[in-house]
Structure 1
Amino acid sequence: MFWRKDGEEIHEDVDHGEILPNHDGTFQMRVDLNISSVKPEDWSRYDCVFHLSGVKKDVITKLDKAVIRTNWDKPRNLSVSVIVVVLVIVLIAAAGFIIYKNKGLESGSGLFQRLNSET
């Protein structure tokens, strides 16, 4: 497995991962292409080539944003989730405080009225 740009095999910005065994006796491998410096309009110039033993035709996958998954969006999605959770906690705390204050005022005013009626 390797990456190509304009039909030529590339090695720069390519990270060859380990070959790992699967539970069924097969293996998996990873070859990452760092696309952080690749302009989105140039993605079509890149493709990943799988050369499988015993198979005459290579499997070629174009670098396509709709097909290739990246981890670019995860931090943004995580931060949005964290913000939502914090806002919910703040709203719950504010509601709890308001309820506590209202009950405290009600019970305090009742005590004040009883003390005034006894005098």
Structure 2
Amino acid sequence: MFWRKDGQELHEDVDHGEILPNHDGTFQMRVDLNISSVKPEDWRRYDCVFQLYGVEDIITKLDETVIRTNCVIAAVSLLAAILMAVTGFTVLKKKKAPDHSSELSEKLHPET
């Protein structure tokens, strides 16, 4: 698997991830293209090529509608961090709150 621009294989701004096994005996791989310096109007010049022995190349054009960006991951991570902070603050606040249940019990049942 590799990225091309205008039909030429790219080596710059390309990160080849690990080849990882799946539970069913197949494998998965990832090749990331850093598009931060690519103008949106030039995206049509890029494509990803997947080659498998005995099968015709599978070519996927760079398309904004199917790109997963780090912005989405960052937003989800930030939301999770905020949720954890709020939960932690609530739990800490409850632990530090004075326990008035024994005083109330004494007032209701002074003979015990």
TM-score (norm 2): 0.65
Q: Which residue of 2 aligns with 1:75?
A: 74
In the alignment, the residues of structure 1 paired with residue 16 and residue 78 of structure 2 have an alpha-carbon distance, to the nearest angstrom, of 30
Q: Which residue of 1 aligns with 2:98?
A: none
Q: Which residue of 2 aligns with 1:62?
A: 61
Unaligned runs of 5+ in 2: 90-112
Q: Which residue of 2 aligns with 1:108?
A: none
Residue identity in the other structure for 1:18: E
What secondary structure is seen at the aligned counterpart in 2 of 1:72?
Answer: helix
Q: What is the Cα deviation at residue 72 of structure 1? A: 1.9
Identity of paired residues, percent?
73
In the alignment, the residues of structure 1 paired with residue 4 and residue 25 of structure 2 have an alpha-carbon distance, to the nearest angstrom, of 29
In the alignment, the residues of structure 2 paired with residue 64 and residue 14 of structure 1 have an alpha-carbon distance, to the nearest angstrom, of 17
Distance change in 2, residues 1:76/1:29 (3 Å): closer
What secondary structure is seen at the aligned counterpart in 1 of 2:31?
Answer: strand
What secondary structure is seen at the aligned counterpart in 1 of 2:63?
Answer: coil
TM-score (norm 1): 0.62
1:25-36 matches, within 5 Å, as 25-36=25-36
What secondary structure is seen at the aligned counterpart in 2 of 1:29?
Answer: strand
Q: What is the Cα deviation at residue 73 of structure 1? A: 3.3
Deviations 1:41-95 (A, max 9, x none): 111111000011221x210001101012212234346557849x97xx9xxxxxx
Residue identity in the other structure for 1:71: N
Question: In proportion to residue count, which structure has more strand?
Answer: 2
Distance change in 2, residues 1:27/1:79 (3 Å): closer
Distance change in 2, residues 1:74/1:42 (3 Å): same
Q: How many residues align?
A: 87
Residue identity in the other structure for 2:49: V
Whose Rg is larger? 1
Q: Which residue of 2 aligns with 1:96?
A: none
In the alignment, the residues of structure 1 paired with residue 45 and residue 71 of structure 2 have an alpha-carbon distance, to the nearest angstrom, of 20
What secondary structure is seen at the aligned counterpart in 2 of 1:24?
Answer: coil
Distance change in 2, residues 1:4/1:78 (3 Å): same
Residue identity in the other structure for 1:25: G
